[in-house]
Amino acid sequence: MKRMANEFLFSVKKQFEYYKFLGEACFNQLEENQLFWQYNVDSNAIATIVNHLSGNMKSRWTDFLTSDGEKEWRNRDAEFESILKNKEDLIQQWNEGWDCLFTAIDSINETNFDTKVFIRNQEHSIIDAIHRQLAHYSYHIGQIVFLSKMIKGNDWVSLSIPKGKSSEFNSKKFSKGKHKGHFTDELKK
């Protein structure tokens, strides 16, 4: 059980790091004003999505093992207002959320792995709570990637296997033979 818990925590941490990387790779391709672009008034800008992600992360991961994940101090509705004003604010919010998440993940070990955690008074195993957040964050980071691709158009630099390059990519991967590692190990960070 101890080994399985450690492998799970290692794996989900790598997954969270991957989604953090994807978001940051988008930010690096965009001009500051593009982070605040909205398709229409009912759509969220990338900055708004970042503000929501950060608010959710801070609420869910602060005192993860000891308090409800929906904190009394959280103002979820305000997360969807235009609060962030520049790229510096966006990066700060982004990092504060992720720092909170990784601190919480690092606090989980074999002695507390069976702790039940609550989100809006609903009990979750640590595995379920982590999967819930992983799915939520990947959903929103997918939106960030999609918006970034729309904004950049033909100037977009692919974050995965570029169109028409699958055979080349697979050939390179299979030339290494069977090996261990995580699929994110080769990402440019």
Domain for residue 92, yes or no? yes
- Predicted pLDDT of residue 171: 87
CA separation for the pair 79, 98 (Å, rounded): 16
CA separation for the pair 3, 153 (Å, rounded): 45
**Cβ distance 94 to 56 under 8 Å?**
no
- Predicted pLDDT of residue 188: 63
Residues 6+ apart with CB under 8 A from 52: 44, 76, 79, 80, 140
3-class DSSP state of 26: helix
Domain for residue 188, yes or no? no
CA separation for the pair 110, 5 (Å, rounded): 7
Task: Provide the domain limits for residue 159.
Answer: 2-174
Indicate whether this model's pTM tops 0.95.
no
- The stretches in the chain having pLDDT less than 50 are none
- Predicted pLDDT of residue 173: 84
CATH number of domain containing 22: 1.20.120.450
> In total, how many domains does the chain have?
1
Q: pLDDT tens digits for 102-142?
A: 999 999 998 999 999 999 999 999 999 999 999 999 999 99
- Predicted pLDDT of residue 91: 98
